Structure 1
Amino acid sequence: MKLSLATLLLPVTVVHGYDVWPLPTSYSTGTSALSISPSLTFNLEDGTSSNGVLTSAFDRYSAAIIGGMGCGDTRSLLSDADFPKASGEVKACTVSVANGREAPELSYETDESYTMYIGEDGKCEIKAATEFGVVHALESLSHLAGETCSISNAPISITDSPRFAYRGLMIDSARHFLPVHFIEHIIDTMAASKLNVLHWHISDTESFPSSSDLFPELAEKGAYSYPDASYSVQDLKGIVQYAYNRGIRVMPEWDVPGHGSWGKGKPEVTILDGACSNTLDPTNPDVYTFLNSFLTEMADIFPDANLFLGGDEVDTNCFDSSPTVSKWMSDNGIEDGVALQSYFWQQVTAQVMPGLNKTLGVWMADDGIPYPEDLPAGSFGNVWMSQSTMPTVIDRGADVVLSGPWYLDQQQPGGFSTYAIQSIWQGMYKVEPYEGLSPSQQSSVLGGEACMWSEGVNALDFDSIAVTKAAAVAERLWSEVGVVDLEDAQERLMEHVCRLNMRGIAAETIAQNFCLSDVL
Structure 2
Amino acid sequence: MKLFLTLSLFASASASTPWPLPANFSSGSAPLSVSSALTFSLPDDAAPSPFLADAFSRYSESISNAQGCSAEAQSLLPPQPSSTPQLSSCSVSVSSPSSDPSLTVSTDESYSLYLALDGSCSISAASEFGALHALESLSQLAGETCTVTNAPVSISDSPRFAYRGLMIDSSRHFLPVRFLEHIVDTMVASKFNVLHWHISDTESFPSSSALFPELAEKGAWSPEAVYSVPDLKHVVDYAYKRGVRVMPEWDVPGHGSWGKGKPEVSIQDGSCTNTLDPTNPDVYDFLHDFLSEMSSVFPDANLFLGGDEVDTSCFTSSPSVSKWMTENNIADGVALQSYFWQQVTSTVMPGLNKTLGVWMADDGIPYPEDLPAGSFGNVWQSQSSMPAVIDRGADVVLSGPWYLDQQQPGGFQTYALQALWQGMYAVEPFSGLTPAQQAKVLGGEACMWGEGVNALDFDALAVTKAAAVAERLWVPQGEGTVDDAQERLEEHVCRLNMRGVAAEAVAQNFCLSDVL
TM-score range, shorter chain: over 0.9
How far residue 332 of structure 1 moved from its aligned partner, in angstroms, is: 0.3
SS at 1:31 equivalent: strand
Q: Structure 1 residue 193 and structure 2 residue 175: aligned?
A: no
Paired residue for 2:363? Answer: 367
Q: Structure 1 residue 212 and structure 2 residue 206: aligned?
A: no
Unaligned stretches of 5+ residues in structure 2: none
* Residue of structure 2 aligned with 1:19, choices 5, 17, 20: 17
TM-score scaled by structure 1?
0.97
* Residue of structure 2 aligned with 1:41, choices 21, 39, 42: 39
SS at 1:354 equivalent: coil
Q: Residue type matched to 2:65 in 1?
A: G
Paired residue for 1:202? Answer: 199
Unaligned stretches of 5+ residues in structure 1: none
* Residue of structure 2 aligned with 1:298, choices 277, 291, 294: 294
Q: Structure 1 residue 79 and structure 2 residue 78: aligned?
A: yes
Q: Structure 1 residue 97 and structure 2 residue 94: aligned?
A: yes
Paired residue for 2:85? Answer: 88
Mapped to 1, the partners of 2:11 and 2:118 lie a distance apart of 31
* Residue of structure 2 aligned with 1:183, choices 180, 201, 223: 180
TM-score scaled by structure 2?
0.97
> What aligned pairs does 1:490-505 form with structure 2 within 5 A after superposition?
490-505=486-501
How far residue 264 of structure 1 moved from its aligned partner, in angstroms, is: 0.5
Q: Structure 1 residue 108 and structure 2 residue 105: aligned?
A: yes
SS at 1:155 equivalent: strand
Mapped to 2, the partners of 1:201 and 1:376 lie a distance apart of 21
Paired residue for 1:63? Answer: 61
* Partners of 1:33 and 1:85 within 8 A in 2: no
How far residue 32 of structure 1 moved from its aligned partner, in angstroms, is: 1.3
Mapped to 2, the partners of 1:65 and 1:13 lie a distance apart of 16
Report the count of equivalent residues.
Answer: 515
Q: Structure 1 residue 129 and structure 2 residue 126: aligned?
A: yes
Consecutive aligned runs of 4 or more in structure 1 exceeding 3 Å deviation: 2-5, 7-10, 12-15, 46-49, 83-87
SS at 1:198 equivalent: strand
Q: Residue type matched to 2:421 in 1?
A: W
Mapped to 1, the partners of 2:225 and 2:83 lie a distance apart of 51
Mapped to 1, the partners of 2:444 and 2:349 lie a distance apart of 24
How far residue 84 of structure 1 moved from its aligned partner, in angstroms, is: 6.5
How far residue 366 of structure 1 moved from its aligned partner, in angstroms, is: 3.7
> What aligned pairs does 1:427-438 form with structure 2 within 5 A after superposition?
427-438=423-434
Paired residue for 1:327? Answer: 323
* Partners of 1:13 and 1:512 within 8 A in 2: no
- After superposition, the CA RMSD in angstroms is 1.6
Paired residue for 1:256? Answer: 252
Q: Residue type matched to 1:40 in 2?
A: L
How far residue 483 of structure 1 moved from its aligned partner, in angstroms, is: 2.2
How far residue 4 of structure 1 moved from its aligned partner, in angstroms, is: 4.9
Q: Residue type matched to 1:280 in 2?
A: L
Paired residue for 1:356? Answer: 352
Q: Residue type matched to 2:31 in 1?
A: A
Mapped to 2, the partners of 1:17 and 1:355 lie a distance apart of 48
Mapped to 2, the partners of 1:379 and 1:40 lie a distance apart of 45
How far residue 427 of structure 1 moved from its aligned partner, in angstroms, is: 0.1
Paired residue for 1:159? Answer: 156
Mapped to 1, the partners of 2:84 and 2:373 lie a distance apart of 58
* Residue of structure 2 aligned with 1:478, choices 474, 478, 481: 474
Structure 1 residues 173 and 14 mapped into 2: Cα distance closer, same or farther (>3 Å)? Answer: farther
Paired residue for 2:5? Answer: 6
Paired residue for 2:165? Answer: 168
How far residue 85 of structure 1 moved from its aligned partner, in angstroms, is: 6.8
Mapped to 1, the partners of 2:111 and 2:12 lie a distance apart of 30
Q: Residue type matched to 2:198 in 1?
A: H
> What aligned pairs does 1:257-406 form with structure 2 within 5 A after superposition?
257-406=253-402
* Partners of 2:68 and 2:512 within 8 A in 1: no
How far residue 13 of structure 1 moved from its aligned partner, in angstroms, is: 12
How far residue 53 of structure 1 moved from its aligned partner, in angstroms, is: 2.0
* Partners of 2:11 and 2:77 within 8 A in 1: no
SS at 2:44 equivalent: coil
* Partners of 1:191 and 1:247 within 8 A in 2: yes
Q: Residue type matched to 2:364 in 1?
A: G
Mapped to 2, the partners of 1:22 and 1:58 lie a distance apart of 21
Q: Structure 1 residue 118 and structure 2 residue 112: aligned?
A: no
SS at 2:323 equivalent: helix
Mapped to 2, the partners of 1:470 and 1:220 lie a distance apart of 33
Structure 1 residues 13 and 32 mapped into 2: Cα distance closer, same or farther (>3 Å)? Answer: closer
Q: Structure 1 residue 466 and structure 2 residue 467: aligned?
A: no
How far residue 76 of structure 1 moved from its aligned partner, in angstroms, is: 1.8
What per-residue deviation string (whole Å, max 9, x for no partner) do you get for residues 6-33 of structure 1? 25699x9995352110000111111211
* Partners of 1:275 and 1:317 within 8 A in 2: no
Mapped to 2, the partners of 1:177 and 1:14 lie a distance apart of 41
SS at 1:254 equivalent: strand
* Partners of 1:49 and 1:101 within 8 A in 2: no
Q: Residue type matched to 1:6 in 2?
A: L
How far residue 52 of structure 1 moved from its aligned partner, in angstroms, is: 2.6
| Identity percentage of aligned residues | 70
SS at 1:46 equivalent: helix
* Residue of structure 1 aligned with 2:503, choices 503, 507, 516: 507
Structure 1 residues 337 and 408 mapped into 2: Cα distance closer, same or farther (>3 Å)? Answer: same
Mapped to 2, the partners of 1:281 and 1:7 lie a distance apart of 64
